[in-house]
Amino acid sequence: MNKSTDQNVAVVAFDMDGVLIDSANSIEASLLDALQRHDIPIADDFDLRAHVGKPLEELIHLASAVPISGSQIGLCARSYRLINDSISPTELTVYPEVVEMLSRSAELFPLCVLTTKNENSARRQLKMLELSKFFVGIFGNVSDSTHVSKDVRWIEAERELSRNQTSTISLIVGDRASDIAAAKQLRRLSIGAKWGYGSLSELDNASADRIAEHPSAIPSLLKELCN
């Protein structure tokens, strides 16, 4: 994978939750609040950190102690977004070493964010945390009614980036098997983020091209894989 050519620019993507920020507590608080507002009982064994990265509608289904209809899930999802969009920067944690890692990585390649969370929420949170400046694009779920898989959004993101200059998102840094699977589906590269919500075995089983123990390892791995 070359950094760039006259015809094409290679872009490196980062998943957001579990890679750049630890947002599990805010997601869980918003989710449980939304469920309670709609009188949906919460499953005793629900463990959010085991499922961060899955679509919101699936999280609602998993968190509910009883079967719920599609319309209930939709109402709960809308409440969740209203609640979560009101959180403050103090409720989100940027992982240690991430700012320095992004600064060093951005000197090597253009960077973008590729997430399954609502795109407006992603943009707002990254701006609050002063991380937006590192990215040429922030791409997430743009519809409140339809979830798009990461590999599909990946291709859409490339088209949006290519409006000004032909670009290929050639590698993703992610913490879940779904990130690695999206890269493999498109025959791209991946780095597993061990510090995130996914386990080492999950990343190993998904066959990530490399696994980073800490954010500080990312720039050197990008050099290794992308040059």
Tell me the per-residue pLDDT of 26-79, one tens digit each, with 9 for 90 and over.
989 999 999 999 999 999 999 888 888 777 888 999 999 999 998 999 899 889
Q: What integer pLDDT is reported at residue 187 of this predicted model? A: 96
Q: Which residue has the tokens 């954010």?
A: 215
- What residues does 169 pair with on adjacent strands? 11
Q: What integer pLDDT is reported at residue 221 of this predicted model? A: 97
Q: What integer pLDDT is reported at residue 90 of this predicted model? A: 84
- What's this model's pTM, rounded to 2 decimal places? 0.89
Q: What integer pLDDT is reported at residue 144 of this predicted model? A: 62
Q: What integer pLDDT is reported at residue 79 of this predicted model? A: 93
Asked if residue 97 lies in contact with residue 163, where contact means CB atoms within 8 angstroms, the answer is: no
Q: What integer pLDDT is reported at residue 147 of this predicted model? A: 67
Which residue ranges in the chain fall short of pLDDT 70? 1-7, 143-147
Q: What integer pLDDT is reported at residue 86 of this predicted model? A: 84
Chain centroid to CA 160: how far?
18
Domain annotation for the chain: domains and CATH numbers? 9-22+92-226 (3.40.50.1000), 24-89 (1.10.150)
CA gap 112, 192 in Å, rounded: 16
